[in-house]
Amino acid sequence: MAERSEELSSLRETFVDRVIIPRFTDYRASGQIIEDTLVFEAFRSVDRGLFVPPDTNDYSIYTDSIVLLREGSTISEPGLVSLMMHGLQLTGDGKVLEIGTASGYGAALLSHCAEEVHTIEIDPELGQQAKERLDRLGYSDVVVHIGDGLKGIPAHAPFDSIIVTAGLRKIPKPLIDQLSEGGIIIAPVGANNPHDQDIIQGLKRGKRLQSRVLIEKVSFVCALSPEKGGWTRRSFDMALKRKPERKNSNGKPILEQVTGEISPEELAKTELFLSKMKSLDPISHLIEERIGVLMDQGLNHGQIIEDPELMRLKAEASQISDKISK
């Protein structure tokens, strides 16, 4: 037990050097990014282990991995979050709005880079848990709100920076309206496929955004909202039928495109299959992400397949597959 505790402590202490800085170094090779001391210090100061569910695999906490909170909510890859925070060009002051509180980890990080942080969560239970956690840990400069984040928080606008941690179809007008002149918004946007997005950086000039792609090909949990720019359940389902949802490690789509004439009976079977497959997709995504992390660490095939977290995810995927086949 003591050895395990010491190992986890070592992983925590080396987290920024192993996980965050390499992402900046890799991205900087394209000439688009430089180091960000403020962001690095935020990740050194906030212990990710305090924001994950108690049953999270210990060794996945301090790697560049997604952590599943519950269906439809995750803690994103810390390396990707660090790049998004860098894109906000934070300076330690100003007022920031975060859309998608989840566990509160992102808001805690932002509090080290801004003077005032507002974060909004659509799930009341998650939002309350995050508020209690942040209060307990002493983040008094973070204000947690419950509601549809795509409407923003007009009573506290304008915001100098806005960061969205759920996939959008486009950036909603209320968020643009609530961004201060010269302010920056960062958001994952994908108009046609709910699992295929680019990170967009928008600079407000007048009433419009000057936008550019900051990071290509990411996959965030979709923002379900009736607000223009969000995904409704209907648009989400239609997009999944129109396009393959994603590809597995062999390059084969998990969901096949439905085309041509189809009988009502076959359509009903297809609808049921699509519904069941949605439960498998988050696990498939986590497996792919975990394998990518292990490969980036230079592990060989034997070491990868024996990774405890990967074995757990595969076992969970197997259980879901058994249910789908019934």
φ and ψ at residue 145, rounded to 5 degrees = -115, 150
HEC profile of 269-320: HHHHHHHHHHHHHHHHHHHHHHHHHHHHCCCCHHHHHCCHHHHHHHHHHHHH
Residue where the block lists tokens 């994603």:
246
Contact predicate 110/88, CB 8 Å = no
Q: Which two tokens stand for residue 26?
A: 């890799």
How far is Cα 244 from Cα 224, in angstroms, rounded to an integer? 20
| Nearest alpha carbon to residue 168 among 147, 209, 144, 199 | 199
Distance of alpha carbon 116 from alpha carbon 307, whole angstroms: 40
Reply yes or no: is the peptide bond before residue 158 cis, omega within 30 of 0: yes
Apex CA 121: angle with CA 116 and CA 123, to 5°?
Answer: 160
Residues labelled catalytic:
76
C-alpha distances in Å from residue 65, one per residue of 16, 24, 74, 114, 285: 14, 16, 10, 25, 11
